């Protein structure tokens, strides 16, 4: 069945009505953008995208990203109309506590929402990652199984944000032809007209990136012209930017092209006058049953036909072990059987150990895709024998992101939420500051992305304080739902990779530049912390992460020579340790025993586990790494002295 012109018109009017009514009822939200883009959204969902409301996450669906996430009511209206699961009461509960229609789209919260958007530009860059994942999987499994597009709606704000520049440059370089961005060129920002701060020639910029750019002009209300433009964009072999001149707040007689329409501009009188122009009843949440039923029937027919045709042609592929491993984001049977182990006393940088882990599991982790921000060899993210992804190597599992930490982080999130791949991206730990937004959004959306951060402390050495992270680990640990592992040595690094693959969410691996003595068997990783050096009746507990664990072992031996018994604990993952039962916690950190934490960073947070801390409460210095560590107190003499002091203070 197809929709009649009258149903097309009424559907657009319903979306525009919801765009006014839901924010008005919530006394919060953004009305004008959703109103202006109602015809575009209608065309995407009813005519262009492969989308099955009965199974909104089937593997070969087209992906839709609302990078302009403040216009969330636009997407919710489409999910309601299409029959994806949202009901009228959900629309009425817009922006209310625990509703399915929050203020910005949230992946995993509302069926049909692919990525969590809101921070402008992030969704655009996520879409680049999605298109890259599609290309890699299509090359691996064939076009019968994987052949879909990623559509993204971005506004002026998205394209002003720096992350969009990085991501657009990468997409153009890689020639991601399955990516279609509709640029909502409405000339409006919150402060006023875009000309206040923005005079870029956006089409020229994207042409310079290598995109196929089409300036659509004034067709924002012409659904047939919109359909033709979108269908044509699907035929190109480069990413497409469709520049759509829209008018925020249209067709309001009061607020069309008004910058106030970016927010909550429409009061009841404004809504009444606009609905009179539209020719629909002046009632909140106008939603005629015959329209909704017809729309849902049309969406179900289109979606079911597309999905069942895919199942028929891709049946053998999607039942294969490789497909299952990719889409379950895990490995083939025995994927972890060939991982290396290291002898006590060996000296290995954990960035080198993670590289060994990647390559030992590469063949049996078919979804593993790895790269770095121009630091592939430095961060251990090089996959042996793998081709670098490029237009003439579309299946390459090695990704060269270039010096684009912002874009890389957001692309990783998009790849993870696309599904079918386990994306790994590496950079120096200090450059976490360049990619904190995607790390946070990965955590918010439970995206299974792997962030590899190396050169993790002042042990970096001569590069100096600009490259020596002292506060970064504490800030990572503060992010909810982010799994953070700072392994003590090579064995813990191998265990960390096993834990990362098994973890259903984002992981940050914090690794050393310098060689570290192997002092553990790796078992502490599974439960977040574990005893490395036992003591029957300890006088003190020394607890540490990363390279400082070996330091604590040496300090414990020095203490023993002087008659003090020290229990040494490696705590590679606070978040994992916090999940353990109280008996295990007491076993690792015995009650009543003085506890000293040792870490080459700020002490923030260690008070939860320790009575005192040997830490670094200043920026680093330019010198050889071992010298910086020594001068800043990360040495045996200082740890022993602080341990003795703590024993004296807490046992007197």
**What single-letter DSSP state applies at residue 471?**
S
CA atoms lying within 13 Å on the CB side of residue 649: 11
CA–CA gap between residue 119 and residue 70 (Å, rounded): 9
3-state secondary structure (DSSP) of residue 371:
strand
Query: Which residues are within 8 A (CB) of 620 and not within 5 positions of it... i.e. 6 or more apart?
Result: 458, 460, 464, 465, 468, 470, 628, 632
Distances (CA, A) of 402 to 295, 354, 407, 426, 512: 45, 21, 9, 11, 22
Look at the alpha carbons of 569, 574, 579, 585 in this order and tell me if their dihedral is positive or negative: positive
Token duo for residue 560:
């023993």
Nearest CA-CA partner of 524 in 560, 562, 498, 558: 498
CA–CA gap between residue 419 and residue 140 (Å, rounded): 14
Distances (CA, A) of 504 to 328, 446, 492: 10, 7, 19
CA–CA gap between residue 86 and residue 74 (Å, rounded): 13
Token duo for residue 641:
């002295």
**Is position 405 annotated as part of the catalytic site?**
yes
CA–CA gap between residue 15 and residue 496 (Å, rounded): 48
- Angle in degrees, CA 323, 366, 179, rounded to 5: 75
Nearest CA-CA partner of 104 in 81, 73, 60, 144: 73
3-state secondary structure (DSSP) of residue 44:
helix
Strand locations in 135-239, DSSP E?
150-155, 179-185, 188-189, 192-193, 212-217
CA–CA gap between residue 382 and residue 492 (Å, rounded): 20
Q: Which own/partner contact pairs does 266-274 have at CB distance under 8 Å and 24+ positions apart?
A: 266/20, 266/23, 266/24, 266/31, 267/24, 268/24, 270/20, 271/20, 271/21, 271/24, 274/16, 274/20
CA–CA gap between residue 18 and residue 489 (Å, rounded): 56
Taking the chain, what is the end-to-end CA distance rounded to the nearest angstrom?
84
Host H or E run for residue 444: helix 436-445
Token pair 């874009």 is found at 407
Token pair 């953070």 is found at 484
386, 405, 517, 548: the active-site residue: 405
Exposed/middle/buried for 276, CB within 10 Å: 0-12, 13-18, 19+? exposed
- Angle in degrees, CA 524, 525, 530, rounded to 5: 20
Walk across the sheet containing 212-217 and list its strands: 63-66, 150-155, 179-185, 240-245, 212-217
Helix (H) and strand (E) counts in the chain = 25, 20
Strand locations in 161-283, DSSP E?
179-185, 188-189, 192-193, 212-217, 240-245
What's the chain's Rg over C-alpha atoms?
A: 27
Token pair 């060939």 is found at 338
Host H or E run for residue 121: none
| Positions marked active-site | 405
């Amino acid at each position: 069945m197809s929709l009649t012109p009258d149903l097309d018109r009424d559907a657009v009017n319903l979306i525009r009505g919801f765009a006014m009514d839901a924010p008005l009822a919530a006394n919060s939200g953004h009305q004008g953008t959703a109103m202006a883009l109602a015809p575009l959204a209608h065309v995407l969902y009813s005519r262009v995208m492969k989308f099955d409301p009965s199974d909104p996450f089937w593997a070969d669906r087209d992906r839709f990203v609302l990078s302009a996430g403040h216009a969330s009511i636009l997407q919710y209206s489409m999910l309601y109309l299409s029959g994806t699961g949202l009901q009228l009461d959900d629309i009425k509960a817009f922006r209310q506590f625990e509703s399915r229609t929050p203020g910005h789209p949230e992946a995993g919260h509302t069926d049909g929402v692919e990525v969590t958007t809101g921070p402008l530009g992030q969704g655009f860059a996520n879409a680049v990652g999605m298109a890259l994942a599609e290309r890699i999987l299509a090359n691996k499994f064939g076009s019968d199984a994987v052949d879909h597009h990623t559509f993204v709606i971005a506004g002026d704000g998205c394209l002003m944000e720096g992350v969009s520049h990085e991501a657009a440059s990468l997409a153009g370089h890689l020639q991601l032809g399955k990516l279609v961005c509709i640029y909502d060129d409405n000339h409006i920002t919150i402060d006023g007209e875009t000309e206040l701060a923005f005079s870029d020639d956006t089409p020229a910029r994207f042409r310079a990136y290598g995109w196929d750019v089409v300036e659509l002009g004034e067709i924002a209300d012409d659904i047939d012209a919109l359909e033709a433009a979108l269908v044509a964009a699907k035929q190109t072999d480069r990413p497409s930017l469709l520049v759509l001149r829209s008018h925020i707040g249209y067709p309001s007689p009061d607020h069309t092209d008004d910058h106030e329409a970016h927010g909550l501009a429409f009061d009841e009188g404004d809504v009444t006058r606009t609905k009179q122009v539209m020719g629909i009843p002046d009632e909140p949440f106008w939603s005629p049953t015959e329209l909704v039923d017809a729309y849902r029937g049309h969406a179900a027919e289109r979606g079911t036909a597309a999905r069942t045709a895919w199942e028929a042609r891709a049946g053998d592929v999607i039942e294969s072990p490789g497909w299952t491993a990719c889409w379950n984001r895990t490995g083939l049977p025995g994927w972890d059987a060939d991982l290396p182990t290291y002898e006590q006393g060996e000296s290995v940088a954990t960035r080198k150990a993670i590289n060994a882990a990647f390559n030992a599991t590469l063949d049996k982790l078919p979804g593993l895709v790895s790269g770095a921000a121009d630091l592939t060899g430095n961060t251990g993210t090089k996959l042996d024998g793998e081709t670098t992804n490029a237009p003439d190597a579309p299946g390459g599992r090695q990704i060269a992101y270039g010096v684009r930490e912002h874009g890389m982080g957001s692309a990783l999130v998009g790849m993870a939420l696309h599904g079918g791949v386990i994306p790994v991206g590496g950079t120096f730990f200090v450059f976490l500051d360049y990619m904190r937004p995607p790390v946070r959004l990965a955590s918010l959306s439970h995206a299974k992305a792997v962030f590899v951060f190396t050169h993790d402390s002042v042990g970096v050495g001569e590069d100096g304080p600009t490259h020596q992270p002292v506060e970064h680990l504490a800030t990572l640990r503060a992010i909810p739902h982010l799994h953070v592992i700072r392994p003590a040595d090579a064995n813990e690094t191998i265990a960390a990779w096993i834990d990362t693959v098994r973890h259903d969410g984002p992981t940050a691996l914090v690794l050393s530049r310098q060689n570290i003595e192997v002092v553990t068997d790796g078992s502490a990783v599974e439960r977040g912390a574990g005893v490395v050096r036992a003591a029957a009746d300890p006088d003190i507990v020394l607890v540490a992460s990363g390279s400082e664990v070996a330091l604590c072992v040496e300090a414990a031996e020095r203490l023993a020579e002087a008659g003090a018994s020290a229990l040494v604990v490696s705590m590679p993952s606070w978040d994992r340790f916090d999940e353990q039962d109280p008996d295990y916690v007491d076993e690792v950190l015995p009650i009543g025993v003085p506890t000293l934490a040792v870490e080459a960073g700020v002490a923030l947070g260690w008070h939860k586990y320790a009575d005192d801390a040997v830490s670094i409460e200043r920026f680093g210095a330019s010198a050889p790494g071992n010298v910086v560590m020594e001068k800043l107190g990360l040495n045996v003499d200082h740890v022993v002295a602080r341990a003795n002091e703590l024993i004296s203070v807490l046992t007197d």
